[in-house]
Structure 1
Amino acid sequence: MPKLSTDTLWELAAAEVHTRENGTREEDGGEPVSERTVFLMGSKAGGKTSILLRCLERDEPSKPTLALEYTFGRRARGHNTPKDIAHIWELGGGTSLSDLVQIPISTNNIRTLSVILILDLSKPNALWSTAERLLLEAQTQVQKAFSQVERVRKVQGGGKQQASVQPAARVLPKDYPDRELINPFPIPLLIIGSKYDLFQESDSEKRKVVSKTLRFLAHYYAASLIFTSIKSETLMSKTKTFFSHLAFGQERGKVVSCDTSKPLIIPAGSDSLSQIGSPPSSDVDITSLHARNPLDLWKKVYEHVFPPESTSARLELKDPAKDSQYIEPQIDAMRAQKDQELEQYKRDAAKSWKGLELES
């Protein structure tokens, strides 16, 4: 006769949570976890889905991402070994749906989560604003999730001071280049510059500005950086190596290429501020920009060369129902009817409240 468990439902749930939280990343010095989460975000129509399908070795046509989509990948560590699982979230719409980052970034997966930011190199004018907005949204949500985990830990510990299971942010090695001058992203971050095949056809000086700026951004956030194109098997193979490192804990690779005339391949910790140099500002006086910090300085120089796009178009797409790629005639007609009914209800309600005020 099987032995009956005397644990309460709460004790069983607490034990399950404890088991999940004991997972560690390779960079923490522990064994690779069996489940990890990867969150992809980036430029609208920047090739996120196509890159993901290639990294997962799925031979299927890519489709526009509808808001936020989930998939998963599995990979065996070796012969006759259990397969590791990667939970993968992809955010569509560029920056217009950035509020949705709170779904894939949660207390349930924060300890095994990595972020991939995919930026469209063929649209340099939107590059900085896209990176800035999405990284800020993701970083805010990550820090919020860590804070919630810490509060729960203190409650469970009865308010006693105990060592945190996970620090609130990544702790870089003491010999990490420029460790005291940068602002590491709180979880592992990979920046991918997509559509390199189109990018390499642009003006060489402008390519240099984009390349140096992304080198600075990647180093500032302690992130890895790679330029890729789905039309290049060689570049996609190297991209897949970076992806597999985050998703399955495999070796990241040691290839480094900092030559701005070639596709950049820079693993985190392989670059430095001295190698990157100062912002490319041949036709602007840096001292006249009144930058608050190095990040602000690079932003001002970059946007001097590539003025940001108008925000009006992006604001219009804040509501997915107004996005042309999601058109559904019957649903849209019904939505318009309901919107009219709602407006009429508001007007009627306002009249009723005014009537009540006059009577009183």
Structure 2
Amino acid sequence: MPRPSDSLWDIAIAEVQKKENAGNEEDPEAAVHSERSVFFIGNKNGGKTSIILRCLDRDEVSKPTLALEYTFGRRAKGHSTPKDIAHFWELGGGTSLLDLIRIPITSDSLRTFSLVLVLDLSKPDELWPTMENLLQKTRNHVNRVVADVGKANSKLANQIKQNMWQSMPKDHPDRELIDPFPIPLLIIGSKYDIFQDLESEKRKVICKTLRFVSHFYGASLMFTSKSESLKTVTRSYINHLAFGLDRSKSVVVDHNKPLLVPAGSDSLSQIGSPPASSSDLRQFSGSTPMELWKNVYMRYFPPQNARDRKDLKDPAKDPQYAESEVDAMRAQKDQELEQYKRNADKSWKSMVLESHTR
């Protein structure tokens, strides 16, 4: 029975769980299964939906994600055991719908929650702003959720904080120099087939920058494209987050090849300094290594002024969500609004006229 405080997403997840448990009521052991959540964020049209469909073996044509979408996947552990469930969330609109991040990340889901940031490598000028805004907003929200958990259960909150360091070996030389993301993070650079046509120097800058950011946050990093081999590797990483399956342990850091850097396998000494001369580095302002890398990256790829929100289409006018009765009422309300604007404009003009004649 849904609670009054339940959102649409809470009800949808409850329905999935209800269907999964419907046939297992007579077998107590069959009710034992794991559930994990994977949240996809990133550039608009960056390939998030395609990655999810590929991992779920769904041969469908991907459609643009307008807001926040949910789907799920199941995987059996064996012939007689229950199926594990993975909840897949996807945020559309690039950085224009950041407030929706709070919907899937809750105190109930946090312990089994992972984040996948998909960055469009064919748009290097959008890469840093997208990455910075999404990760910052998500991290702030996760920290608030952990703080709320700590008020009720300090032991659980401490456990969540300790889990942040699981991807980093205890003897790693950079443990004191990094700041792990509060939940497991995978950064995927999409459209590598287009990216590889960039100039070698630009590819090197992008690769080194993403390696630094991923290492600093204790995240895994990989590039993908339409190549079947890269699709397979991408799927293994997503299945690792969604179902706990083994993932590829290969390491590729050559900027002339698609990167594949598991969390904890890189180091600041291997990455090196930001791609700038010593004199240039002294001129850049920045109180932290992250700010320094940002300033160097921005010199190579200045961000455009256009914002995602300007390009976001109105969902109410999208034909895939057509509802005749709702659309008719919406049209009527739009007409009433326009009439109100015209009347208000006339009233304002008459007031101004009167003030001038006095």
Shorter-chain-normalised TM-score: which range?
Answer: 0.7 to 0.9
CA–CA separation in structure 2 for the residues paired with 1:289 and 1:165: 37
Letter matched to residue 310 of structure 2? E
In structure 2, runs of 5+ residues without a counterpart are 1-31, 349-358
Decide which of 253, 263, 267 is 1:258's aligned counterpart.
253
CA contact (8 A) 2:285 2:295 kept: no
What is the aligned partner in structure 2 of residue 337 from structure 1?
335
Letter matched to residue 206 of structure 1? K
Q: Does 1:291 align with 2:286?
A: yes
**CA shift for structure 1 position 241:** 0.8
Q: Tell me the alpha carbon deviations over residues 120-141 of structure 1, each in whole angstroms, 9 at most, x when there is no partner.
A: 0000000000000000111111
Label 1:321 to 1:262 Cα distance change in 2 as closer, same or farther (>3 A).
Answer: same
**CA shift for structure 1 position 117:** 0.2
Label 1:342 to 1:106 Cα distance change in 2 as closer, same or farther (>3 A).
Answer: farther
CA contact (8 A) 1:170 1:185 kept: no
Letter matched to residue 302 of structure 2? P
Q: Does 1:81 align with 2:74?
A: no
**What is the root-mean-square deviation in Å for CA atoms of aligned residues?**
3.1
In structure 1, runs of 5+ residues without a counterpart are 1-31, 155-161, 351-360
CA contact (8 A) 2:33 2:83 kept: no
Question: What secondary structure sits across from 1:222 in the alignment?
Answer: coil
| More helix as a share of residues | 2
Decide which of 210, 213, 217 is 2:209's aligned counterpart.
213
What is the aligned partner in structure 2 of residue 116 from structure 1?
116
Q: Tell me the alpha carbon deviations over residues 36-79 of structure 1, each in whole angstroms, 9 at most, x when there is no partner.
A: 00000000110110111111111111111120000001112234
Label 1:348 to 1:71 Cα distance change in 2 as closer, same or farther (>3 A).
Answer: farther
What is the aligned partner in structure 2 of residue 63 from structure 1?
63
Matches within 5 A, 1:32-181: 34-153=34-153, 164=157, 166-168=159-161, 170-172=163-165, 173-181=169-177
What is the aligned partner in structure 1 of residue 17 from structure 2?
none
**CA shift for structure 1 position 176:** 3.4
What is the aligned partner in structure 1 of residue 6 from structure 2?
none
What is the aligned residue count?
312
**CA shift for structure 1 position 283:** 9.9
Q: If the length of structure 1 is used for normalisation, what is the TM-score?
A: 0.78
CA–CA separation in structure 1 for the residues paired with 2:309 and 2:51: 27
Matches within 5 A, 1:164-313: 164=157, 166-168=159-161, 170-172=163-165, 173-229=169-225, 231-282=226-277, 285-311=280-306, 313=307
CA–CA separation in structure 2 for the residues paired with 1:224 and 1:306: 23
CA–CA separation in structure 2 for the residues paired with 1:325 and 1:56: 26
Letter matched to residue 60 of structure 2? E
CA contact (8 A) 1:147 1:168 kept: no
CA–CA separation in structure 1 for the residues paired with 2:99 and 2:67: 11
What is the aligned partner in structure 2 of residue 314 from structure 1?
308
Label 1:241 to 1:336 Cα distance change in 2 as closer, same or farther (>3 A).
Answer: same
Label 1:304 to 1:81 Cα distance change in 2 as closer, same or farther (>3 A).
Answer: same
Q: If the length of structure 2 is used for normalisation, what is the TM-score?
A: 0.79
CA contact (8 A) 2:111 2:160 kept: no
CA contact (8 A) 1:177 1:271 kept: no
Question: What secondary structure sits across from 2:295 in the alignment?
Answer: helix
205-214 or 170-179: bigger deviation: 170-179
Question: What secondary structure sits across from 2:160 in the alignment?
Answer: coil
Question: What secondary structure sits across from 1:167 in the alignment?
Answer: helix
CA–CA separation in structure 1 for the residues paired with 2:255 and 2:172: 23
